[in-house]
Amino acid sequence: MQTDLFPPIDPHRHGMLARGDIHRVYWEECGNPQGLPVLFLHGGPGAGASPTHRRFFDPDAYRIILFDQRGCGRSRPTAEVRENSTQTLIGDIEALRLELGVDRWLVFGGSWGSTLALAYGQAHPDHCLGFVLRGIFLGRRSEVDWFLTGIRQIFPDAWQDFVAALPEAEQGQRTPQELLTAYYRRLTDPDPAIHLPVAHAWSQFETRASTLLPAPDLPQEPNGATLAISRLEAHYFVHDLFMAEGQLLTQIGRIRRLPCTIVQGRYDTVCPAVSAYELKQAWPEADLVIIPDAGHAALEPGIRAALVRATERYKLELASLVAP
């Protein structure tokens, strides 16, 4: 069975989906047009999809569909927070499904993508075949607070640099809510001289905590991508991910009949393993695969191998459900 990424491929079609008065959402389709439909949901919010994300799936077996969520990647406008919520993204997914003529699809998402996958699945369970989820984030206040201040317990140097990006007079504001408020005020300021320095600080903080071992050779994101990631993450955090507290666990019964594989790095400090464990407790039928030597990043060797094993499994188990 394949355990590493498939060779690079190019889309065979792509487009822009007009959504409301503000947003145009980029989408692309790769692989086999008659294959098993799979929807890739990227992280962030705000990270965007990349060519590497196409490679988790056998292009001979899968109809691979990716899109850049509102405000990021090739979608326009960049870093836009207006009309940008969990509910609008769920609406975009449904609009894309109808645009492409998909009845049901496998839903694949990591980090924030796992949050959105669960939220979408619970809203539209009849259009899902199953789930492959990685680096579980359930959108609860405890998880947001951990990201903003808890990581200090493991990465005190990275966290100190994160705080130091704020003006000196505000560096004593170190509760999660104080940090979030201070960052969000600057990230949403229209002046690049104000929002870009804190955008870079937010992005670097997250990057430094994302892998088990240091990864100093990670490419630097352009300013637009860095701003989209930091501004949209802060926007969603300020609004409690636009969900009720604990919603994704209390509503798990809507999708428990569907197959699911959960892949989690043991030493994930961005989205700690306790969330994956609690999701498994609420969803006993799901398969939980804990990678003993990995952090958060999808491309760490053990995580990417487990994700590919999952897509290889489902291409066989689910093929008959979409056979002509």
Residue 112, CA distances (Å) to 41, 86, 195 in order = 8, 10, 22
Considering only CA atoms, which of 202, 174, 185, 164 is closest in space to residue 81? Answer: 185
Give the pairing type, strands 105-110 and 36-41: parallel
Residue 42 falls in the annotated catalytic set: no
Give the pairing type, strands 128-134 and 105-110: parallel
Residue 14 falls in the annotated catalytic set: no
Q: Which of 42, 195, 235, 296 is catalytic?
A: 296
Q: Which two tokens stand for residue 221?
A: 């994101």
Beta bridge partners of 13: 29
Helices (H), the chain: 86-100, 112-123, 141-148, 156-164, 176-187, 192-208, 223-238, 247-250, 273-282, 301-317, 319-322
Left if phi > 0, otherwise alpha if psi is -120 to 50, otherwise beta: which for 55?
Answer: alpha
202 with 161: CB under 8 angstroms? no
Considering only CA atoms, which of 136, 137, 113, 94 is closest in space to residue 56? Answer: 113
Q: Which of 58, 68, 92, 268 is catalytic?
A: 268
- Rounded Cα distance between 297 and 210, Å, is 6
Residue 145 falls in the annotated catalytic set: no
- Rounded Cα distance between 241 and 112, Å, is 10
Q: Which of 111, 114, 230, 275 is catalytic?
A: 111
Residue 189, CA distances (Å) to 89, 164, 186, 198, 223 in order = 24, 18, 5, 11, 15
Catalytic residues: 111, 268, 296
